């Protein structure tokens, strides 16, 4: 089982195409946490992080913990640009970015 899993990861990581998923999510909090905010969509207090994952491997590539009252797309352009400028491999010839949030 372990060897099959390693081969799958090796095959996917050898791919020249990088597919990144960009999504936000919501985490409700309780008590007095730092940087929380009220979210009118969820009608409670929490965090609204931005998460980038590798769609081919499921690996989390980058996370930005944001206040719960942060709009979905706020800071997403800088978030993606920061990742692309520092974390790309020379093997990636094609980069596809998927997301359903409002980029600002």
Strand 44-47 and strand 37-39: the pairing is antiparallel
pLDDT at 3: 42
pLDDT at 104: 53
pLDDT at 103: 53
Full-model pTM: 0.73
pLDDT at 9: 47
Strand 94-99 and strand 50-54: the pairing is unpaired
pLDDT at 2: 45
Taking 50 as the pLDDT cut, the residues of the chain under it are: 1-10
Query: CB–CB of 52/80 below 8 Å?
Result: yes
Residue 12's Cβ-count burial label (10 Å; 0-12, 13-18, 19+) is middle
Residue 89's nearest CA partner among 29, 21, 17, 6 is: 17
pLDDT at 66: 92
């Amino acid at each position: 089982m372990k060897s099959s899993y390693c081969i799958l990861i090796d095959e996917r990581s050898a791919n020249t195409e990088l597919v990144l998923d960009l999504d936000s999510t919501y985490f409700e909090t309780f008590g007095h946490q730092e940087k929380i905010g009220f979210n009118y969509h969820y009608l409670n207090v929490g965090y609204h992080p931005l998460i980038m994952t590798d769609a081919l491997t499921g690996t989390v590539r980058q996370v930005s913990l944001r206040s719960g009252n942060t709009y979905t797309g706020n800071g997403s352009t800088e978030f993606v640009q920061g990742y692309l400028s520092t974390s790309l491999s020379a093997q990636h010839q094609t980069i596809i970015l998927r997301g359903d949030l409002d980029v600002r």
